[in-house]
Structure 1
Amino acid sequence: MSDSKILDHPLTTHVGKASAYLLNNFSPMSGFRSERKLSTYLVDGELEVREIASQIFHNDTLVLYIADNCNALELFILYIGFIICMPSKFWRKVIYIVLGVILIDLINIFRCMGLIYLREYYHAYFDFAHHFLFKAIVYTFTLLIWMRFSRNINFKNSNESLQIG
């Protein structure tokens, strides 16, 4: 999937647009917009244009660059894999997958909003928050959702994993 970017492009665009929208409409900050960055490459003598990131601007100044690696797709897949591998009823898995992906998406959007806030007002903390703090928060949140799902599973009764309805 990483070569085709079928899921990456729309998801990264969504994270950028949602972050800008929420900052403009639900925070004291305003003047944000999101754009996809296009890059041009020369491949085998032919010019190729590729989208590689979502950029967020604040009053025409670039404040955040959201790469496809930062759209939480890998975290969605990891979370979904955890849920699928655990023994539980089919519909319980479906509910936890849908709600979990929505919550992880929201926490990732809030992460981007927090990074923008730090970049604008507390730039000295931006790198630490980006590389360590916010990653720890997002992964911990994902772990907590998974733990909530797995706490009622009876591992001694493996027949539960075979139920589909």
Structure 2
Amino acid sequence: MSRSSSPAAPAPLVRFAVLAGAFYLLWFFGYEHYLAADGRLDVALSHNLASVSAAGLRLLGYAVTASADARPLLTLQGQPAVIVGHECNGLVLYALFGGFVLAFPGPWRRKLWFVPLGLFLIYALNVLRIMALCLNNYYSHQTVDFNHHYTFTAIVYASIFGLWMWWATRLATRPAPTTAVYAA
């Protein structure tokens, strides 16, 4: 009787699954049980996003202020426009993006510049999202809820997916070694 052996899972896939699981557990226990309970990181990030978004809109000529409340409120032209809630400050997206790239096989030298670049791009996209929501609330209040929950969510997740694809298809792969062929 012959035994047929099932193919073993590829080593990079197993490595990715183990590392991704470890990063998830680190996030779960580190954030959910300590950082979220403390709250200072969420408050600082939400305030920073509100301040930078307000500064961006002021550069465009709008009268915008950001409150110093625990959940900062942006007012545009004297009217309440956007509350930057901790659940919408992007912190989870930073962890998700960074964890994916760190767990995915690839050269560490590239990860050292790609992860900070990706985090900065996600941060900048979040600032633009908050600015757009302020303007959306000012010019077309009836569409804010839809755009917040669907339009901007789709744009942000598609952008993160694009960064992942850039990493997985272009940057994580190592170039094939070149062999020199000399004609005699």
Shift of 1:70: 1.0
- 1:7 counterpart residue number: 41
What are the superposed Cα offsets for residues 113-136 of structure 1, whole Å, 9 maximum, x if unpaired? 111111000112111001111011
Query: Structure 1 residue 119 and structure 2 residue 119: aligned?
Result: no
Query: Structure 1 residue 105 and structure 2 residue 137: aligned?
Result: no
- Counting only pairs closer than 5 Å after superposition, residues 122-141 of structure 1 correspond to structure 2 as 122-141=140-159
- 2:50 counterpart residue number: 16
TM-score by length of 2: 0.72
Q: Which runs of 5+ in 2 are unaligned?
A: 1-34, 177-184
What are the superposed Cα offsets for residues 36-61 of structure 1, whole Å, 9 maximum, x if unpaired? 32xxxxxxxxxxxxx2x111012332
TM-score by length of 1: 0.80
Q: Separation in 2 of the partners of 1:150 and 1:78?
A: 15
Residue among 156, 160, 171 paired with 1:142: 160
SS in 2 for 1:33: strand
Q: Which one-letter code corresponds to 1:20 in the other structure? A: A
Q: Separation in 2 of the partners of 1:82 and 1:149?
A: 10
- 2:77 counterpart residue number: 59
Max Rg structure:
2
> Is the 2:57–2:131 Cα contact (8 Å) retained in structure 1?
yes
Q: Which one-letter code corresponds to 1:105 in the other structure? A: Y
- 1:47 counterpart residue number: none
Q: Which runs of 5+ in 1 are unaligned?
A: 38-50, 158-165
Q: Which runs of 4+ in 1 moved over 4 A?
A: none
Shift of 1:63: 1.0
Higher helix share: 2
SS in 1 for 2:37: coil
- Counting only pairs closer than 5 Å after superposition, residues 10-89 of structure 1 correspond to structure 2 as 10-25=44-59, 27=60, 29-37=61-69, 51=70, 53-89=71-107
SS in 2 for 1:2: helix
Higher strand share: 1
SS in 2 for 1:63: strand
Shift of 1:84: 0.7
